[in-house]
Amino acid sequence: MFDLQEINKLRVFKSKAKRNDSFYTKSIYPGYNGFREAIIKFKGGEYREIDPKRSKFAAAIAKGLSQSGIREGSAVLYLGASHGYTASFISDIVGKQGYVFALDFAPSVVRDLVFVCEKRDNMAPLLEDANHPERYKDVVPLVDVVFQDVAQRDQLNLFLKNCGAYLKKDGFGLLALKARSVDVTRKPKEIFREVKNFFDNQQDFVVVDYRELDPFEKDHAFFVVKKK
């Protein structure tokens, strides 16, 4: 018998009894598990399991994330949505009053993403390059949350550009940083520290949470920043 409890008001749940890394969102489209994720029923609702080894967002939660800024009704711009795995759980979290603009520049993955969005009315696929935020200004409004997971050398710049163009004041930016994509020759911790120092020494954002994702995602860190 499952007994779920919400973690840190994140709208993500875990079992009270099990001491493991199983996390769930309450499905807003019961009966549909397009990623073959495990489903459990609890108090009349259906809950989908999100895997910390497959999602940096879930890995950050497994590492104790205290806040994400993603709320029921939030509008989210998700950069690097890939096939839509993590984005589909964010879609559960924001609920039917919220919206997820799920962007990726690789046609091979956006093909799958389109199918996910067909099942979820609160998600739209965008085949775009996050390096050019001006190209999607007719589609994407100002949002409450910018979520980025692109594993590119210029991750930080790309994040700042998109937050500059789309993030509301007091909105949250979530950055999954892959150190090896920035520079394979340098120690990941050195790169994490550099990015943290950057945020600490500028005026536009304040870091509200930071997690290193080892052992779920090697050489990755997760930043949550709030726009001033």
Ligand X SMILES: C[S@@+](CC[C@H](N)C(=O)[O-])C[C@H]1O[C@@H](n2cnc3c(N)ncnc32)[C@H](O)[C@@H]1O
Instruction: Tell me if 129 contacts ligand X by CB under 6 A.
Output: yes
DSSP structure class, residue 120? -
- Residue 151 C-beta: closest distance to ligand X, Å: 5
| Contact status: 37 vs ligand X (CB under 6 A) | no
Distance CA 28, CA 121 (A): 10
User: Smaller CB distance to ligand X: residue 144 or 217?
Assistant: 217
Q: Does 155 bind ligand X (CB under 6 A)?
A: no
Helix (H, G, I), strand (E, B) or coil at 169: strand
Stretch that binds ligand X, among 2-10, 31-39, 62-70, 97-105 (CB under 6 A): 97-105
Stretches 59-67, 117-125, 145-153, 159-167: which one binds ligand X (CB under 6 A)? Answer: 145-153
Would you call 208 helix, strand, or coil by DSSP?
A: strand
Which range of residues in 69-77, 129-137, 162-170, 185-193 is near ligand X by CB under 6 A?
A: 129-137
Q: Output the residue with the shortest Cβ distance to ligand X.
A: 80
In angstroms, what CA-CA distances link 123 with 64, 94, 118?
Answer: 27, 10, 8
Q: Please name the amino acid found at residue 137.
A: K
Three-state DSSP class for 118?
A: helix
- In the list 95, 96, 119, 152, the residue contacting ligand X (rule: CB under 6 A) is 152
149 binds ligand X, rule: CB under 6 A: yes
Residue 5's DSSP bridge partners are 14
For position 85 contacting ligand X by CB under 6 A, the verdict is yes
Residue closer to ligand X by CB (options 134, 203) is 134
* 223 touches ligand X by CB under 6 A: no
Among 7, 39, 40, 109, the residue binding ligand X under the rule CB under 6 A is 109
Judging by DSSP bridges, how do beta strands 143-148 and 75-79 pair with one another?
parallel
* Cα angle for residues 72, 199, 149 (degrees, 5° grid): 50
Angle of helix 85-94 versus helix 107-119 axis, rounded to 10: 30
Answer for which of 59, 75, 117, 150 binds ligand X (CB under 6 A) is: 150
25 binds ligand X (CB under 6 A): no
Distance between CA atoms of residues 162 and 138, nearest Å: 14
Min dist. Cβ of residue 83 to ligand X (A): 6
- Structure tokens of 15? 């079992």
Q: Return residues touching ligand X (CB under 6 A).
A: 55, 79-82, 85-86, 103-106, 109, 129-131, 149-152
